[in-house]
Structure 1
Amino acid sequence: MEKSAVLMIIDMQQGMSWPQAGERNNPNAEHEIAELLAHWRSIHAPIVHVRHLSTEPESLFWPDQDGALFQDAFQPLADEKVIEKSVPDAFIYSDLEEWLRSENLHTLLVVGVSTNNSVESTVRSAGNLGFKTYVVGSACFAFEKEDFFGQSRSADEVHAMSLANLHGEYATVITQDEAFALLPKEHTSLSD
Structure 2
Amino acid sequence: MTPNNQAALLVVDVQQGFDDEGYWGPRNNPDCEANIGRLLAHWREQDRPVVFVRHDSTEEHSPLRPDHPGNAFKPVVTGEPDVLVSKHTNSCFYGEPDLHQWLQERGIQRLAICGITTNHCCETTARMAGNLGYDVQFVLDATHTFDRGDLNADQLAHATMTNLSGEFATIVTTDEALRAP
TM range (shorter): over 0.9
Q: TM-score, normalization: structure 2? A: 0.93
Partner SS for 1:51: strand
Which of 3, 7, 26 is the equivalent residue of 2:9? 7
Partner SS for 2:4: coil
After superposition, the Cα gap between the structure-2 partners of 1:7 and 1:57, relative to the gap in structure 1 and judged at 3 Å, is same
Q: Tell me the equivalent position of 2:155.
A: 157
The number of residue pairs the alignment matches comes to 177
Partner SS for 2:122: helix
CA deviation string 1:93-113 (max 9, x = no partner): 441000000011000000011
Calculate the aligned-residue CA RMSD, in Å: 1.2
Q: Tell me the equivalent position of 1:17.
A: 19
Partner SS for 2:65: coil
Which of 96, 100, 103 is the equivalent residue of 1:97? 100
Structure 2 unaligned residues grouped into runs of 5+: none
Deviation, 1:162, is: 1.1
Which of 77, 80, 86 is the equivalent residue of 2:88? 86
Distance 1:71 1:127 in 2: 27
**Which of the two has higher C-alpha Rg?**
1
Q: TM-score, normalization: structure 1? A: 0.88
4+ residue stretches of structure 1 with deviation over 6 A? none
Partner SS for 2:29: coil
CA deviation string 1:40-74 (max 9, x = no partner): 11121100011101111111111121111111220
Q: Contact 1:52 / 1:85 at 8 angstroms: preserved in 2?
A: yes
CA deviation string 1:163-189 (max 9, x = no partner): 111111110101222101223xxxxxx
1:179 and 2:181 correspond: no
Deviation, 1:28, is: 0.5
Distance 1:160 1:109 in 2: 18
Which of 147, 151, 168 is the equivalent residue of 2:166? 168
After superposition, the Cα gap between the structure-2 partners of 1:43 and 1:93, relative to the gap in structure 1 and judged at 3 Å, is closer
Moved more, 125-134 or 39-48: 39-48
Deviation, 1:18, is: 2.2
How many percent of aligned residue pairs carry the same amino acid? 37
Structure 1 unaligned residues grouped into runs of 5+: 147-151, 184-192
After superposition, the Cα gap between the structure-2 partners of 1:76 and 1:84, relative to the gap in structure 1 and judged at 3 Å, is farther
Q: Tell me the equivalent position of 2:44.
A: 41
Deviation, 1:7, is: 0.6
Q: Tell me the equivalent position of 1:114.
A: 117
